[in-house]
Chain A
Amino acid sequence: RKEVEQDPGPFNVPEGATVAFNCTYSNSASQSFFWYRQDCRKEPKLLMSVYSSGNEDGRFTAQLNRASQYISLLIRDSKLSDSATYLCVVTMFSGGYNKLIFGAGTRLAVHP
């Protein structure tokens, strides 16, 4: 079983749609959680951190359920510019350092 699992997609949605991505992680000792965005042939960039209380940044809402080891990202009112791959990332402290583990990513394509 992979340490971080995501639905690879692609999710093809029209502009204005609401889309949700899910992510599960296997290690209950995971400490921090993030969503990164990666455009085609570019580097990953931090989209938002994920907190147990849930957090929102404009059209983006992230949720964490530690009991179920599940993370979600909701995008409302999708824009063409949201088309990208969304990477779920968990961190855990192991061997004296913080180790970041990436999921394989979920691809989103927003069409007119």
Chain B
Amino acid sequence: ETGVTQSPTHLIKTRGQQVTLRCSSQSGHNTVSWYQQALGQGPQFIFQYYREEENGRGNFPPRFSGLQFPNYSSELNVNALELDDSALYLCASSFTGTGANVLTFGAGSRLTVL
């Protein structure tokens, strides 16, 4: 059983640029959610994808967007990067069905915006 993998692991961008982060979900999982974790904070929910559609969104502006593909992998895109976007971006997969959602996290993509 493969876990959640994310790429790239680290990247540096400058203000105003755009970034795409990628995530492969754990086998058997059909739902992907993205979180932003700033230093010293808990993960903050960005959005969730199920059946290739966004079905939940946190308090993030529209310049944060995403996709889910038929194989359940996902992308997070951030346009017009700001300094405050510097954070660890975590992808988590889960199975939407019966029972509580238990998330399996990837190791994250650490973004630095200069």
Contact = CB atoms under 8 A, between A and B. Distances in A.
Tell me whether chain A's interface is mostly helix, strand or loop, or mixed. Answer: strand
Contact of B56 (A32, A44, A95): A95
A65 B35 CA distance: 27
Interface stretch (A54-62, A69-77, A98-106): A98-106
Interface of A: 4, 8, 31-32, 34, 42-46, 49, 87, 91, 94-105
B42 A42 contact: no
Contacts of A105: 41-42
Interface residues of B, number: 23
Contacts of B103: 44, 46, 100
Contact of B40 (A32, A96, A104): A104
Of the listed residues B33, B48, B96, B101, the one surrounded by the most CB atoms of chain A closer than 10 A to its CB is B101
Contact of B55 (A32, A43, A87, A96): A96
Given A97-B48, A100-B45, A102-B44, A46 B56 contact: no
